[in-house]
Chains A and B, each alone.
Chain A
Amino acid sequence: MSESPDARATGLLRRLRAIARWPLRLARKDGPPALATLVCAALFIAALCGTAITPFSETHIDFESVMLPPAWEAEGAILHPLGTDQLGRDVLSRLVAGAQVSLLVAGAAVIFGGVLGTFVGLIAGYFGGVTGALLNRLTEAFLALPFILMALALVSALGPGLWNIIIVMILTNWARYARLVRSEVISIKERDFVMLARIAGVSRVTIALRHVLPNAFNSVAILAVLDVGRAMMLESALSFLGLGVQPPSVSWGVMLADAKSFMGFAWWLALFPGLVIFLSVLSFSALGDWLQSRLDPRSGL
Chain B
Amino acid sequence: MPVFLLRRVAEAFATLFVLTFVIFLLARLVGDPVPLVLGTEATQQDIDFYRRQYGLDQPLMLQYLSFLTNVVQGDFGVSFRYRVSAIGMVLPALWATFKLTGIAMLLSLGIGVPLGIMGSIRPRGMLARAVDWYAAAGESIPSFWFALMLMLVFAVTLGVLPSSGFGSWQHYVLPVTTLSLFSSASLAALTRANMVSALQSDFVKMERNLGLPESSIVFRHALRNASLPIITFLGLQFGVLLGGAVVTERVFAWPGIGQVMVEAIFTRDYPVIQAGVLVTAFCFMLINLLVDILATLLDPRVRQ
Binding site for B on A (CB under 8 A): 1-2, 5-6, 8-9, 12-13, 15-16, 19-23, 137, 140-141, 144-149, 152-160, 229, 233, 236-237, 240-243, 253, 256, 259-260, 263-264, 267, 270-271, 273-275, 277-278, 281-282, 285-286
Contact = CB atoms under 8 A, between A and B. Distances in A.
B140 A149 contact: no
**A141, A149, A158, A286: which has the most chain B beta carbons within 10 Å?**
A149
A243 B15 CA distance: 25
Given A16-B193, A241-B246, A271-B149, A1 B299 contact: yes
Nearest to B132: A20
A32 to B, nearest CB: 16
Contact of A153 (B23, B145, B190, B301): B23
Given A152-B277, A157-B30, A240-B250, A20 B284 contact: no
Given A146-B240, A242-B262, A1 B273 contact: no
Given A146-B242, A157-B27, A274-B145, A1 B301 contact: yes
B207 interface: no
A6 B235 CA distance: 10
Contact of B145 (A148, A154, A157, A273): A273
A210 to B, nearest CB: 34
A145 B240 contact: no
B223 to A, nearest CB: 16
Given A233-B142, A270-B148, A15 B193 contact: yes
Contact of B229 (A8, A155, A243): A8
Contact of A148 (B148, B194, B243): B243
Interface string B286-304: 0010011001100101100
B26 A19 contact: no
14 contacts: A1-B301, A2-B4, A8-B233, A9-B229, A9-B236, A20-B135, A20-B189, A152-B265, A233-B142, A237-B144, A263-B151, A270-B145, A273-B145, A278-B140
A270 B150 CA distance: 11
* Interface of chain B, main secondary structure: helix
Contacts of B146: 274
B231 to A, nearest CB: 10
A4 to B, nearest CB: 8
A274 B264 CA distance: 27
Interface of B: 4, 11-12, 14-15, 18-19, 22-23, 26-27, 29-30, 129, 132-133, 135-137, 139-146, 148-149, 151-152, 156, 163, 186, 189-190, 192-194, 196-197, 229, 232-233, 235-236, 239-240, 242-243, 246-247, 250-251, 261-262, 264-266, 268, 270, 273, 276-277, 280-281, 284-285, 288, 291-292, 295-296, 299, 301-302
A148 B242 contact: yes
A149 B280 CA distance: 8
B277 to A, nearest CB: 5
* Interface of chain A, main secondary structure: helix
B302 A278 contact: no
B32 to A, nearest CB: 13
Nearest to A277: B142
A263 B159 CA distance: 13
Contacts of A264: 156
A254 to B, nearest CB: 12
B164 to A, nearest CB: 10
B142 A278 contact: yes
B281 A263 contact: no
Given A15-B193, A274-B142, A23 B133 contact: yes
B251 A260 contact: yes
A263 B190 contact: no
A21 B277 contact: no
B288 A270 contact: no
A135 to B, nearest CB: 14
